[in-house]
Homo-oligomer: A and B are copies of this chain.
């Protein structure tokens, strides 16, 4: 049985969607226990509205929640009992096995750094995200690849990039069930001498590890999905990820305006609606289950702020899969290998 501490306050939709997600999960055939961390009264009231299995849910009271537009440092020091801090305390004290939050990303990263320990050899944490690719990945034929860091560490040293590669490979091998995920550095050319100084140095280190390092990939390989795990610093990863979001948005706008402009186009779009739904599903990758914060000694999954019940449920499942797959142990042994001469 895996126990998840779910920050039930952090997302854009208050307690309602997290509670709905956890309630649905409690009725599924998965060995999962969810601790709902937040305003106890509000959570109890929301639970009353939805069918659930009370034996697999528990409410843990907390005070306050970091607003999406807050300065995370200030907010956390002003609210020492807020939902994300309480949820992290539960894993630090081993009352829970993993944390899931749809709250403020910066606050989740900062509170994790305070409540948890960084793993041996990891100087900087990384936030990883799945994103849609043309190529399918692994035996489950997942339509998404993994990219990290996407925003936790702006400027990554060669050692940080090697750490990201080890952590991303471990996570991908568990989530997409790939034995030896193809790991690549994102650069401005495929040759080993391409890229910034940090990337060139990381290239050398990565060749000496046991990772399935396929070298550098270029921007064109991101949507193609050439690698299972794309490694870059958080500045670049943030821009790439948000750009993919923007491209999805623009295509949706174009499709809408095409329908509006001509009757024949409207009919054409209707005939294609099944295919368009498939594409939309592909680009709606936020529903896949959130982004793991990697590098701490416990499993922390950051769900998107706009997560609805289904996304929260998926994030909890991903957290449970990470615990069962021994994500932390796999990262530890990967780091041992990467640092041995």
A218: CB under 8 A from chain B? yes
A240 touches which of B241, B243, B262 (Cβ 8 Å): B243
A-B contact pairs, 19 of them (CB 8 A): A154-B196, A188-B235, A188-B239, A219-B241, A220-B242, A220-B243, A221-B246, A222-B246, A223-B243, A223-B246, A236-B236, A240-B240, A243-B243, A247-B247, A262-B274, A264-B271, A265-B272, A268-B268, A268-B275
A207: CB under 8 A from chain B? no
A195 touches which of B187, B188, B222, B235 (Cβ 8 Å): B235
A243 touches which of B155, B219, B249, B271 (Cβ 8 Å): B219
7 more CB-based (< 8 A) A-B contacts, given A134-B254, A154-B196, A223-B246? A219-B244, A220-B246, A223-B243, A224-B250, A265-B272, A265-B274, A269-B272
Task: Count chain B CB atoms within 10 A of each CB in A221, A223, A234 and give the residue with the most.
Answer: A223
Residues of A in contact with B, size category: 35 or more
With both chains docked as a complex, state the minimum distance between the C-beta of A114 and any C-beta of chain B, in angstroms: 22
B196 and A155 form a contact (CB under 8 A)? yes
Question: How far is it, in angstroms, between the C-alpha of A279 and the C-alpha of B242 when the chains are bound?
Answer: 21
Copies in the complex: 2
Question: How far is it, in angstroms, between the C-alpha of A155 and the C-alpha of B271 when the chains are bound?
Answer: 48
Interface string of A226-243 (1 = CB under 8 A from B): 000000001110111111
Which chain B residue lies CB-closest to A267?
B271
Task: Count chain B CB atoms within 10 A of each CB in A195, A236, A246, A270 and give the residue with the most.
Answer: A246
Question: How far is it, in angstroms, between the C-alpha of A264 and the C-alpha of B272 when the chains are bound?
Answer: 7
Interface string of A59-96 (1 = CB under 8 A from B): 00000000000000000000000000000000000000
A258: CB under 8 A from chain B? yes
A161 CB contacts on chain B under 8 angstroms: none
Question: How far is it, in angstroms, between the C-alpha of A275 and the C-alpha of B238 when the chains are bound?
Answer: 32
A245 CB contacts on chain B under 8 angstroms: 219-220
A186: CB under 8 A from chain B? yes
Question: How far is it, in angstroms, between the C-alpha of A236 and the C-alpha of B195 when the chains are bound?
Answer: 10
B220 and A188 form a contact (CB under 8 A)? no
A18: CB under 8 A from chain B? no
Question: How far is it, in angstroms, between the C-alpha of A171 and the C-alpha of B253 when the chains are bound?
Answer: 29
With both chains docked as a complex, state the minimum distance between the C-beta of A203 and any C-beta of chain B, in angstroms: 14
A103: CB under 8 A from chain B? no
A275 touches which of B246, B249, B265, B275 (Cβ 8 Å): B265
